[in-house]
A and B are shown apart, each in its own frame.
Chain A
Amino acid sequence: DIQMTQSPSSLSASVGDRVTITCRASQGISNSLAWYQQKPGKVPKLLIYDASSLQSGVPSRFSGSGSGTDFTLTISSLQPEDVATYYCQKYNSAPWTFGQGTKVEIK
């Protein structure tokens, strides 16, 4: 099965900073990748699908890029409401594995 590895596992940044989270697949998955945000005690929320398509209603400071095995989620200007854990997920074929998550905090 294809493994999804996120890095870093956690990060702390200041409000207004540019934040980048990486997700690497152990084999190529084309652009079949999504990013989710989960705030503490809340339901996960889709941010990005097909590696770079912004889900409706998601702020434009979130963006995704990549194809094949290497993918990136970028928050262009970190806001206090972005404190959450972020997960990538592949969906080119079963099993649709999630990454282990990246916890984002405010410094």
Chain B
Amino acid sequence: EVQLVQSGAEVKKPGESLKISCKGSGYSFSNYWIAWVRQMPGKGLEWMGIIYPGDSDTRYSPSFQGQVTISADTSISTASLQWSSLKASDTAMYYCARLGGGLDVWGQGTTVTVSS
């Protein structure tokens, strides 16, 4: 079964760093783009960026460029999204998803809560 499994919920303080992960299985992880999508509470979907694990080619939405870092490690079939200094406005659900003709496989989501 093709699936993406994300790391668990996080509660952090403003200014802290964080890295969340997305592990692929059941397919050739290196050969499919992985996207990250943010959904703030009660709001719509926002495309953050995308990475091709095979060569680490990465594209960011202008809204998220410089705010987050997307990476991938093919040896463990895992993509990651990280922040160096969280803000309260980063509180949201974060999804990873595979590009296979649209985003055809989604992770279960990781809730990030940033509060002092």
Contact A96 B35 (CB under 8 A): yes
A-side contacts of B45, CB under 8 Å? 36, 38, 44, 87, 89, 98, 101
Question: Contacts A96-B35, A101-B45; is A48 near B106 (CB within 8 Å)?
Answer: no
The residue from B47, B61, B109 contacting A89, defined by CB atoms under 8 A apart: B47
Please give, as numbers and ranges, the residues of chain A lying within 8 Å of B104 by CB-CB distance.
46, 49, 55
Interface SS of chain B: helix, strand, loop or mixed? strand
Whether A95 contacts B62 by the Cβ 8 Å rule is yes
Docked pose: A55 CA to B61 CA in angstroms: 26
Task: Determine the distance from Cα of A46 to Cα of B102 in the docked complex, in whole angstroms.
Answer: 7
Instruction: Please tell me if the beta carbons of A89 and B102 are within 8 angstroms of each other in the complex.
Output: yes
Task: Name the contact of B103 in the complex, choosing from A34, A53, A97, A101 (C-beta under 8 A).
Answer: A34
Which B residues contact A (CB, under 8 angstroms)?
35, 37, 44-47, 49-50, 59-63, 95, 97, 99, 101-104, 106-109
Contacts of B99 in A (CB 8 A): 91
Say which residue of A34, A44, A48, A100 sits within 8 Å of B95 (CB atoms): A44
| 6 A–B contacts, CB within 8 A, in A order | A43-B107, A85-B44, A94-B50, A96-B50, A98-B37, A98-B46
Chain B nearest Cβ from A69, distance in angstroms: 18
Least Cβ distance of A101 to chain B in Å? 4
Distance of B41 from chain A, by nearest CB (Å): 12
Q: Could you mark each residue 41-59 of chain A with 1 if its beta carbon is under 8 Å from any beta carbon of chain B, else 0?
A: 0011110111001010000
Chain A residues with CB under 8 Å of B106's CB are 43-45
Across the interface, do B103 and A89 meet the contact criterion of CB distance under 8 Å? yes
A sample of 17 more A-B contacts (CB under 8 A), given A50-B101, A96-B35, is A43-B109, A44-B95, A46-B104, A48-B102, A49-B102, A85-B44, A89-B47, A89-B103, A91-B102, A94-B60, A95-B60, A95-B61, A95-B62, A95-B63, A96-B50, A97-B61, A98-B44
Residues in chain B near residue A81, CB distance under 8 A: none
For B60, B63, B103, the residue with the greatest tally of chain A CB atoms inside 10 Å of its CB is B103
Min Cβ gap A66→B in Å is 15
A95 to B103, CA, bound (A): 14
